[in-house]
Structure 1
Amino acid sequence: MDQIRSLYANVKDNLLLDPSHGNKENKNSQNVANGKQHSTHQQERKRSPGRGQQQSKAKQKHEADKKQPFRPKHRDLEAALKAVIVSDLRAHLWAVNENFKQNHLMALKAITSFLNENLRVDVADPTFSNKSLSYPYDVLPQDLKELIDDTITNAGDQNVQYFYDLTLSNLTGDMNKNLPHLGHSVLLQAMAISNPQICVNNLARNAILRNSFQNRSNIGLSLLWALGQGGFHDPSVGLKVWQDIMVPVIELKTYSKYVYEYVHKILHQNPSAKLDISSSDFLTILSSLTTQNKSNRDLSVLLEDASKLLVERYVLSAPKTSSTFTTLFKNIQFIAKPELIYFGLILCLTEDPECWTAWRGLYKKNIQQTTDLLSFIESTSSKSASKLLGDRLFHQFLDDIQHINTELGESRKKIDGLKGSVAVLQQVQDKVASKKSKAAKSAKSSRTGATTVCCSFLLATFLLFGLTGGLIGFDTYRAGGKFENSHTGQLLKQAGLLPTVQDAWTCSLKYSARGFKWAEEHVPVYYEKTKTTVGPYVEFSIDFSKILWNGAKKGFGNVKLLVEQKTPVVVEFVEKYAPGLPKKIGDFACSTWTTVSTFTVNTYNQSCEFFKTKVFVGQLSPESLGKAFNSTQQAAAQYYSWFHEQVDFYAKAK
């Protein structure tokens, strides 16, 4: 079937490229109309056999020229693309559509042939490694790009798939014959961008094609480049191409660099796109990434980064994370680098709380795997593991595992890995406790530090304003109570700022007085409204607090009753194994209580006597303190009266 299709395509190519095809019927009609002239030409041809030999030689020369290596017309591919005359291509397509109506394959073939003829450029790197990922598609002239995209869209998926596979074969064939081939590359890339899935629909056939030309590195790399274009727009497609087409040649020196870089690029490209691969494909690809011979350090770093990124994107793309957790957990031993699986498991635990339930269900049959994972969590310093150590669900899981270990330890059956699990569990719990302690200290110190800074700032502000006000007040007092005669007033007067400062001070007093009068009038009203609105909630809070208090008292009473009931039993039990110990404890408690009570009473009496005889005498006597309090009360009343007079005065000022 492939041979028939190729023959069909070659026949159509000859029809397209033969300039005399459109005029063949006209020439035949002219020869029939002029019979004599036609017979004369035949007689001349018979008389001069050398003319036929000349035509045969010309035809052979034309075929020889066709087989000769093409000569580049442009310095690079971008210059050649800019030189493409799109109007000529449109006219060529119009002629093709007139001769082959509704034949989209012929239209695609015509574009490819046209571009092959116009893009005669020497390309040293068939993978365009120093260019963008979408090169040369992204540098196509806009009208040419639109024409190609429209033709591909109109062709339909089935025709595009057939033409894609055919173009891959033509690409390798033309490169093998050293014929112009860049038109094939442009069309292959455009079709892969339009529908990335076409790159993986015939992987078995394409693998055979790769095997045929893998010893020709330029052809093989061009084939890998063409098949890998869909992966830059759909990473799932790229991973399948990488595994089935590229991994078999990854050990070959001419291919390894491109294969390593390709998988790294497709995983970094489109980070929001989800991976649509099965768990078996994922494990196969991850195994390929972790088992390669990493002789080159730079390339090995690419593979390590790609492996971690693959695990992360697979976990985040999973429709049900708990199922992914189970799959990864059961396949730890099948991956050369289990740290990558541990990373994926930790990511699952932080993403979905159901994973804790899944892990708890897997524990009894996978004790060693759990021990290894807990040991990794305890020893690693990654952000995800640190986040896990502070997770409440992780602490609960550790308690559950400890309880299960206790049950398993009490059973007579020997369980492999149980001792190691208990030891590692204790280490993890110690680290969790240490982390909690450090977090509490850090939080306390941060709160204390923030409070200290805030209080220091407020205190410094009040001291500054107070000191400034005191100095200005003292300066005004020395000047006889007139601010303009003080040193501060004279300085402001010389600077021309005294009227402005006085106006600002008067204005501030005026608006402050009005604000005080407004608050004095309206704050009680708003307070009553707030009290009415919030009152029921406050009452509910009080009632709820009473209920809690009553519950606490009831609980305390129950505990007290339980202690009273169990005390004789405990005393009897202790007396049985340690005769005389309860009596000694009781005597010690009574003597301790007597000593503490006596010390407290004596200390209180001595303190009272000290304050009576040493402190509250002289100026600190009750009589003196009473007089000072009365004087302070009178001064406060006078100040309050003066303050209201000032407020009324400035509130009425305009």
Structure 2
Amino acid sequence: MAASSAAADGKWKVVGKSKKGGEKRKALGESNGAPTLASLTAGVPVKSSVYELGFETIMKKQNKEQVPPSSSSTETQQNKKQQPQQNAGKQPKRNPPGGSSILVQGKFQTLEEALRALDVGELQREMEKSQNMFPENPQIWLKDLAGYLNFKLQTVKNEPLTLHQSHDYPYCLVSKELKSVIRSVLAKASSMLELLVDHCLLSMLQELDKASGTDSVHGYRLCIQAVLLDKPKTVTLSLKKYLDMLRDQQSKPLKCLTIMWAVGQTGFVDLTEGLKVWLGLMLPVLGIKSLSPYAISYLNRLLLIHSNLTKGFGMIGPKDFFPLLDFAFMPNNSLTPSQQEQLRDLYPRLKVLAFGATPESTLHTYFPSFLSRATPNCPPAMRKELLHSLYECLNLDPLSFSVWRQLYTKHLPQSSLLLQHLVASWDTTSKTMRKAVRETVQSFCVTNEEFSAKPSHSKDIEVCESACQALLQKMKGRGFPWFRFVLIALVFLSGFVIHDIRTSGSFQASSSARILQQTGVLSASQQAWTKVTHYSQHGHSWLERNVPVYYAQAVDVLGPGLETLWEKSRDGALYTVDKCSIFLTYLKDNLPGFIQWVHAQIPESVLHFIEYLRDLLLHLYHNYVVPAVVYCVAALQRVWQRYVDSCNGEVTWDCTRDHLTSITQSSWTFVQNTTLAVKDWAVAMMSSH
């Protein structure tokens, strides 16, 4: 019932006697004179737990029935407490037996020095002792591990939590032996990993509460990274807990950044879990002045590390995507212009993640929010992006048209902007989309007529009606169908010849033969056919005689060399395919990041030049090419009208045949006259010389 414990002033007080029947156990390090792991975390205030109560029971049993020390020994003990630690790398000192154990750990200049000075063998022995003493309490092993590492890895300067270092810093500095010890302990207590993360995080937050002399927290950071880089889902199942913790500490930026850093470690090994953390923990605090830079920088690093965005498909939905759109493009929000610029650079990749692997079946869910934001008063950059996204929705997902028809009357100003955008981009619109646009515009015209009949109709209806009429005019104003015209002409001509032959009984008795005979085409074609037949037969006979001889000689002379060349070529092809597969894999992994880097390095002037060149080409197309095509079409229409008038207003086969005969005869006469004129001129020139 009576046991003694050392008080802070060196005197002894009588307390209650310990329970009988309890087996005496020695604390960690008592047998070899080393400091106990319980004392390593004594400076960290924690709630009563099995970890704390276990060591308390041991100390009570150890101090049972001790006598009070003499005054001289008390003074000696106090003097030794006041002696400073002279060497940072030396082992911590113990007070003489009979007094309380007080650890004095020196601080290293850098974390690398502290890690080099850490005795991995001693850590492993201490962990084995902890596991033997508390075999049923794995949470005590984990707390011992965290406390030991944090005690041994004290540095002069406590490094801030930034994203300028490697994403796995400081865990990347740990040796393989130390990582092996840490992982073995974590593997034996795999069901308590979330408790370890919470313990380390709370300990880091408590260090920030100290007014001065804050100790380093490298050990806690190493434990958090060791857990989350191996088991990233440890914290994502309870993100709401960390979000509530973040909101409670909102007035303390350093604590908020500590929470964001700790939970954010899970994203560097798994894009899906990283997006869960960013959307569930960092997006709600985006806009807070002290936390926004870290949230945006974390998202940038997350998307740079995971260049393959397909693993994150399905994580961003409309409710998460459109707040990001507003943050990136809406002016006068809680982000600074530079932060908005960073978010706009990330926006294309966020858009790919939001639309997912099958945009043709999901974009209609984004269409209403895009349309409601595309007002005439929205900023130009945002309006351009919204109209481009709306056009993409209509082009890829046909269900967007039905959604637009339902929202048309409620969003007339936005619909007028989208209709005008369709007019401007009509030339690049696909045929499938043109058909859907035609049906949608026709339904809009009916709605416009109904609204226009009302006396209190708005001006938006008039703007939409004019845009619809412009679209209908674009649909009608197509170019001359040359392909159809030529195809119809060939079919018509073939039908005429076949009908003429069947009516006349034979080709020689047909009108087609007489026309060809009169124009000389038949005799010329017969002569050409005779020559072609003669030379073909001559060439065929030559090939029959000479090809076998030449082939045999070629086989004898070139056969061995060709076989060797074939073998070498096959080996070279296999080698090339192997190297190309490695190169293609490398390109697949690194090309997206390279493209993003090139895009970031391209000067703004080059982009402006490309935009200017595009405008110049559009100007030439609209002002020169289109008028020329219109003029040619009008000329062809006048020629056709004259042809119809020459046939007395009705185009018949007899009239067409007469015109073809007249044109053929006049063309042949012109060719003959021209030939004779050239011949006479040539004879005259030769005779004059």
User: Taking structure 2 as the reference length, what is the TM-score of the superposition?
Assistant: 0.52
The question of 1:145 aligning with 2:185 is answered no
1:186 aligns with 2:219: no
Is residue 117 from structure 1 mapped to residue 151 from structure 2 by the alignment? yes
Corresponding residue of 1:522: none
* CA apart distance, 1:131: 1.6
Residue identity in the other structure for 1:72: K
Q: Deviations over 1:468-492 (max 9, x none)?
A: xxxxxxxxxxxxxxxxxxxxxxxxx
How far off its partner does 1:185 sit? 1.2
Deviation string, structure 1 residues 51-109 (Cα, Å, up to 9, x no partner): 4465467669899x99999753143x344334433322221111110011143212221
Match of residue 397 from structure 1: 436
Bigger share in helix: 1
8 Å contact from structure 2 (residues 158, 217) kept in 1? no
Contact 1:210/1:220 (8 A) holds in 2: yes
> Are the structure 2 counterparts of residues 612 and 62 from structure 1 closer, same or farther at C-alpha, using a change threshold of 3 Å?
closer
SS in 2 for 1:180: coil
Match of 2:48 in 1: 7
Q: What is the alpha-carbon distance in structure 1 between the residues aligned to residue 401 and residue 461 of structure 2? A: 20
CA contact (8 A) 1:196 1:231 kept: yes
Q: How many Å separate the matches in 1 of 2:315 and 2:670?
A: 87
Change (3 A) 1:401 1:217: closer
CA contact (8 A) 2:249 2:256 kept: yes
CA RMSD of aligned residues (A): 5.4
Per the alignment, residue 108 of structure 2 pairs with 73
Change (3 A) 1:396 1:590: closer
Residue matched to 2:204: 171
1:6-65 deviation line (CA, Å, top 9, x unaligned): 2216616956xx9x96x966x86xx8xxxxxx8xx66xx4xx4454465467669899x9
Structure 2 residue 186 is matched with structure 1 residue 160: no
1:170 CA displacement: 0.9
Aligned amino acid, residue 132 of structure 1 = S
Distance between the aligned counterparts of 2:245 and 2:667, measured in 1?
A: 106
The CA deviation string for residues 528-583 of structure 1, in whole angstroms up to 9 with x for no partner, is: xxxxxxxxxxxxxxxxxxxxxxxxxxxxxxxxxxxxxxxxxxxxxxxxxxxxxxxx
**Cα 1:60–1:287, aligned 2, differ >3 Å: closer, same or farther?**
farther
1:302 alignment partner, one of 330, 336, 342: 342
Q: 1:513 is matched with which residue?
A: 546
Give the counterpart of 1:96 among 96, 118, 130. 130
Q: Does the C-alpha gap of structure 1 residues 609 and 105 become closer, same or farther in structure 2, counting only changes over 3 Å? A: closer
CA distance in 2, matches of 1:598, 1:57: 129
Distance in 1 (alpha carbons) for counterparts of 2:277 and 2:367: 23
Following the alignment from structure 1 to structure 2, what is the Cα–Cα distance between the partners of residues 13 and 353? 67
CA distance in 2, matches of 1:13, 1:61: 31
| Residue pair 1:70, 1:180 contacting (<8 A) in 2 also | no
2:605 maps to: none
- Which letter maps to 1:104? P
Does the 8 Å contact 1:322/1:355 carry over to 2?
A: no
Distance 2:227 2:476 in 1: 58
1:324-363 aligned within 5 A? 324-330=363-369, 332-333=371-372, 337=382, 340-349=385-394, 351-352=396-397, 355=400, 359=404
| Aligned-residue offset at 1:152 | 3.2
2:408 corresponds to 1:372: no
Shift of 1:341: 5.0
* Structure 1 residue 604 corresponds to structure 2 residue 665: yes
Write the letter of the residue equivalent to 1:176. D
Letter in 1 for 2:217: H
Task: Indicate the percent of aligned positions where both proteins have the same amino acid.
Answer: 20
Residue in 1 that maps onto 2:629: none
Q: In the alignment, which residue of structure 2 is the partner of 1:486? A: none
Aligned equivalents of 2:250 and 2:670: distance in 1?
Answer: 107
- Alpha-carbon shift at residue 120 of structure 1 (Å): 1.7
Corresponding residue for residue 227 of structure 1: 263
Q: Which moved more, 1:595-604 or 1:398-407?
A: 595-604
Distance 1:433 1:136 in 2: 67
Distance 1:305 1:590, change over 3 A: closer
Alpha-carbon displacement from aligned partner over 1:350-380 (angstroms, at most 9, x marks no partner): 555555565566656655544434445666x
Write the distance in 2 (CA, Å) between the matches of 1:331 and 1:156. Answer: 46
Residue pair 1:325, 1:355 contacting (<8 A) in 2 also: yes
SS of 2:293's partner is helix
Offset at 1:113?
1.3
Task: Go from structure 1 to structure 2 and tell me whether the alpha carbon gap of 1:175 and 1:377 turns closer, same or farther (over 3 Å shift).
Answer: farther
The answer on whether the counterparts of 1:246 and 1:259 sit within 8 Å (CA) in structure 2 is: yes
C-alpha spacing 1:610/1:221, structure 2 compared with 1 (3 Å): closer
Query: Which residue identity is paired with 1:272?
Result: T
Q: What are structure 1's unaligned runs of at least 5 residues?
A: 32-37, 380-384, 442-508, 520-583, 620-654
* Aligned pairs, number: 454
Q: Distance in 2 between matches of 1:352 and 1:591?
A: 46
Pair 1:130-2:164 in alignment: yes
Is contact 1:112-1:183 (8 Å) kept?
yes
Larger radius of gyration: 1
The aligned amino acid for 2:319 is S
Distance 1:425 1:605 in 2: 50
Kept in 2: contact 1:93–1:110 (CA 8 A): yes
Assess, with a 3 A threshold, how the Cα gap between structure 1 residues 346 and 613 changes in structure 2: closer, same or farther: closer
Amino acid at match of 1:180: S
Aligned to 2:587: none
Q: Structure 1 stretch 261-270 or stretch 395-404: which is displaced more?
A: 261-270
TM-score by length of 1: 0.55
Which residue identity is paired with 1:314? Answer: A
SS in 2 for 1:194: coil
What CA distance in whole angstroms lies between the structure 2 residues aligned with 1:614 and 1:277?
77
Q: C-alpha distance in 1, partners of 2:239/2:669? A: 99
Q: Distance in 1 between matches of 2:239 and 2:328?
A: 20
Q: Distance in 1 between matches of 2:186 and 2:471?
A: 60
The amino acid that maps onto 1:372 is: L
Which amino acid letter does the alignment assign opposite residue 310 of structure 2?
S
TM superposition shift of 1:302: 0.8
Contact 1:228 1:241 in 2 (8 A): yes
Deviations 1:210-235 (A, max 9, x none): 45655655444333211222233445
Q: Is the 8 A contact 2:243 2:281 kept in 1?
A: yes
Paired AA for residue 349 in structure 2: L
Is 2:121 the counterpart of 1:87? yes
The aligned counterpart of 2:310 is 272
1:257 corresponds in structure 2 to 293
3-state SS of paired residue (1:174): helix
C-alpha separation in 2, matches of 1:284 and 1:162 = 33
Shift of 1:330: 4.2
Q: Could you tell me how far apart the structure 2 residues matched to 1:279 and 1:210 are?
A: 25
Q: CA deviation at 1:301?
A: 1.4
